[in-house]
Amino acid sequence: MAGAAVTSLSALKSAYRTHGWCEPPYRFSGEAVELIRDRVLAMSRERRPEVVHEQDSGIARAIHGCHAFDEVCAALVRLPYLVALAEEFLGGPAYAYQFKVNLKQAHEGAAWPWHQDFAFWHEEDGMPRPDAVNIAISLDDVHEGNGPLMAIPGSHRLGLLDLPEGRAENGAESDWRTHVSADLAYTVNGHRAESLIREKGRKLFLGPQGSLQVFHPSVVHSSTNNPSPDRRALLLITYNAVDNAPAHPTRPAFLVSRDTTPVVSRADERLGLVAV
């Protein structure tokens, strides 16, 4: 890691608690991003259940659970700075609950409607509390035109919004494909999102490739289609507190890791961070 840390972990945690997101003062080096992008491209061409395609065009939309089958992704999960962020924010040992890359391909990448991740994890997996944290790594330059991730500051303190009625009573599980497609099972009503934005504003996660952002499982977020010629691949690692593991998950292991062993930090010189 080059350069001095300009924002301490505790200052980042305080911003995260207030807004539901924060931006660490580092980004991945060009070499690190190139290495990860190469692996992502290779994985996206594989025919395996972890690779999900867009409904309309059939091009790769996302790759799930990569840390279980790709050595570079496994190394990423163990990086000391990411583990330190997760442990600081969760207040104790953490394990990798989910790992995914949303590819948002040029011209073809479809939207993610307004939603809260914890709705899926609580309703489908039985995660007890929103004591998990998303760390997002941009694998491409992100600008306003290529479908950036957007979040509504402070919305993580509103609890779960607009859950469909009746599901808890009949105990039905939805098809996991509706948790990873543009047609999501648990969404926040668009009118509600608009009114929340009028009240609280909107944060766009923009920046050069390698940028890091952290966001809360209950923060209301979305992203639009990508009509631009620029891909917007976003890698997301979700760490969960070890004492917050779902008791009886049923979704595939590439969406809900069954291995709740705390992550042990290990430096990897290929995956360098630079101060921003």
- Residue ranges in contact with Mn ion by CB under 5 A: 117
Strands 60-64 and 273-275: unpaired
* Rounded CA separation 16/128 (Å): 20
119 vs 271 by CB, closer to ligand SIN: 119
Cα dist from 240 to 126, 129, 156, 207, 245, whole Å: 13, 10, 16, 26, 7
We find the least distance from the C-beta atom of residue 78 to ligand SIN, in angstroms, to be 22
Contact flags string 189-218 toward ligand SIN, x per CB under 6 A: ------------------------------
Question: From the CA atom positions of the chain, what is the Rg in Å?
Answer: 17
Give the one residue of 12, 52, 119, 236 binding ligand SIN; rule: CB under 6 A. Answer: 236
We find the least distance from the C-beta atom of residue 179 to ligand SIN, in angstroms, to be 10
Which element (helix H / strand E) includes 30? Answer: helix 30-44
Judged by beta carbon distances under 5 to 8 A according to partner kind, the member of ligand SIN, Mn ion, none in contact with residue 139 is none
Judged by beta carbon distances under 5 to 8 A according to partner kind, the member of ligand SIN, Mn ion, none in contact with residue 102 is ligand SIN
Dihedral of alpha carbons 250, 252, 256, 262, sign:
positive
* Rounded CA separation 131/11 (Å): 18
Contact flags string 70-109 toward ligand SIN, x per CB under 6 A: --------------------------------x-------
- 8 by Cβ neighbours in 10 Å (0-12 / 13-18 / 19+) ranks as exposed
Q: Does 223 bind ligand SIN (CB under 6 A)?
A: yes
Q: Cα 244 vs. chain centroid, distance in angstroms?
A: 18
Judged by beta carbon distances under 5 to 8 A according to partner kind, the member of Mn ion, ligand SIN, none in contact with residue 149 is ligand SIN
Judged by beta carbon distances under 5 to 8 A according to partner kind, the member of ligand SIN, Mn ion, none in contact with residue 223 is ligand SIN
β-bridge partners, 62? 52, 102
* Rounded CA separation 218/12 (Å): 17
Phi, psi of 157, deg, nearest 5: -95, 10
Q: Does 149 bind ligand SIN (CB under 6 A)?
A: yes
- Are 47 and 30 within 8 A, CB to CB? no
Contact flags string 26-65 toward ligand SIN, x per CB under 6 A: ----------------------------------------
54 vs 117 by CB, closer to Mn ion: 117
We find the least distance from the C-beta atom of residue 176 to ligand SIN, in angstroms, to be 15
Q: Which of residues 112-141 bind ligand SIN (CB under 6 A)?
A: 112, 117
* Rounded CA separation 234/144 (Å): 14
Judged by beta carbon distances under 5 to 8 A according to partner kind, the member of Mn ion, ligand SIN, none in contact with residue 19 is none
Side-chain-side CA neighbours of 176 within 13 Å: the count stands at: 15
Residues that bind ligand SIN (CB under 6 A): 102, 112, 117, 149, 221, 223, 234, 236
